[in-house]
Amino acid sequence: MDPTKAPDFKPPAKDEQLNPPPDPTSSIPNSDPIIPYVLADNNESIDAPFNLEMNKKIKSRINKSSFSHVGSSNRSQSNHIPLNENEFQPLSADISSNDDDEFSSDKDAPTTASQNDIRTVEEKLKLIKDTEEQIRAIKIGVQKNQIADLEEVPHGIVRQAKSIENYEFPTHRLSNKLHNPNKLPLVIVACGSFSPITYLHLRMFEMALDAINEQTRFEVVGGYYSPVNDTYQKHGLAPAHHRVRMCELACERTSSWLMVDAWESLQSSFTRTAKVLDHFNHEINVKRGGIMTSTGEKIGVKIMLLAGGDLIESMGEPNVWADNDLHHILGNYGCLIVERTGSDVRSFLLSHDIMYEHRRNILIIKQLIYNDISSTKVRLFIRRGMSVQYLLPNSVIRYIQEHKLYINQSEPVKQVMGGKE
């Protein structure tokens, strides 16, 4: 937990400009193809419920502006996230009662539109409604991808390189298309040790997925583990290539949407989480230009950090995270926090100035079935020759056995007993 032990760690001073300054190539670009409002989440709370009325108004507004675009190309502007600035969804602060009047009034009805155009728009709106209903119907019950027989996924596929020279960003499970025309794309990134990855770490993503689907207007298009670099020097950290491989084994054979990215682990030194998120932004939004909508246009993908309550609470510890980094992480990306048994994340959020400032960009996820599987305890069990069956995937257990991991380590009793460093 203590990056101050990293050889290159310098304690940040209050309001210090980052030193070294953030790599300009990895900062969030504010030009195409990223839509700042996507990253800023329209200045609305991440868990603001999907607002049908607002949605209607937005569609109506987009349709109005789209009349000037509707031509022989028949390029639809109504059922996807707009690309041009003057077609952005209005900021929450901009929606006033005057806007209500404007939206509901007939006086602004497009005069240039032909009956044909109107029919096209009506058809588009019907299509959106039908798609929404279909998506809702499909979402009931156990999802097909959850019952996929992933044990049939071939063994032995190694996706992540062991050196930065051979590194490639994994995209084999990154959706290349947004399915729901009324949602914005979101990629979830979990940073941590994962030494080893357990079923809790896998469940965290599923809990996040449910919360996102249920409470936000985002569609999850991918999920990544980013195991921390070896220089993090935390007790019990197996070498990074083993942790990456264990995450890979766990994802490949238990999940249909999770991936592992070795970039952070392959760096020559500890990489701050803010820069890790910049790396994802760079790979997904800058290099790939975001994601395709149902109408074939590309839009920016929001990226959020997934973390447990303990990691978030470490943000309140002095000299661990730089304030500038916290503003960057919470303000530009956002955070999904899985509540940890016994920790009061909400009170913490209330008491932490920077967190409170960015609270709209933070979603707290309640564990409905408490899971407190601890990697520290798993390592202890392995050392004591005890069973770890059903705490982590078989493929990971097998890997630990094969590579004789965690056998000859000792860890401070304080850490094993829960008083983490």
Ligand X SMILES: O=C(O)c1ccc[n+]([C@@H]2O[C@H](COP(=O)([O-])O)[C@@H](O)[C@H]2O)c1
* Contact positions vs ligand X (CB under 6 A): 1, 3, 191-193, 228, 232, 234, 272-274, 311, 314, 320-321, 325
**Smallest distance, Å, CB 272 to ligand X?**
3
Count of residues near ligand ATP by CB under 6 A: 21
Q: Measure the CA–CA gap between 244 and 160, rounded to whole angstroms.
A: 8
Window 228-267: contact mask with ligand ATP (x via CB under 6 A): --------x-------------------------------
In terms of CB distance, is 178 or 237 closer to ligand ATP?
237
According to DSSP, residue 223 is labeled: E
In terms of CB distance, is 35 or 392 closer to ligand ATP?
392
**Smallest distance, Å, CB 417 to ligand X?**
17
User: Please, which of residues 322-351 interact with ligand ATP by CB under 6 A?
Assistant: 338, 340
**Smallest distance, Å, CB 377 to ligand ATP?**
7
Q: Residue 376 binds which one of ligand X, ligand ATP, none, with CB within 5 to 8 A depending on kind?
A: ligand ATP
Side chain identity at residue 110, one-letter code: P
Q: Cis peptide before 33, with omega less than 30 degrees from 0?
A: yes
Q: Which residue in 63, 182, 375, 395 binds ligand ATP (CB under 6 A)?
A: 375
Q: Which residues of 9-21 are buried (b: 16+ CB within 10 A; e: fewer)?
A: beebeeeeeeeee
- For the chain, the C-alpha Rg in angstroms (whole number) is 23
Residue 395 sits in the site that holds ligand ATP (CB under 6 A) = no
Contact between 33 and 75 (Cβ < 8 Å): no
Residue 145: which H helix or E strand, with range? helix 144-147
Residue 129: which H helix or E strand, with range? helix 115-138
Q: Within 353-404, where are the H helices? A: 353-357, 375-383, 394-402
Angle between helices 199-215 and 240-254 (to 10 degrees): 60
In terms of CB distance, is 228 or 365 closer to ligand X?
228
Q: Residue 182 binds which one of ligand ATP, ligand X, none, with CB within 5 to 8 A depending on kind?
A: none
- Which residue stretch of 70-78, 302-310, 328-336, 404-412 sits at the interface with ligand ATP (rule: CB under 6 A)? 302-310
Residue 136: which H helix or E strand, with range? helix 115-138
**Smallest distance, Å, CB 191 to ligand X?**
3
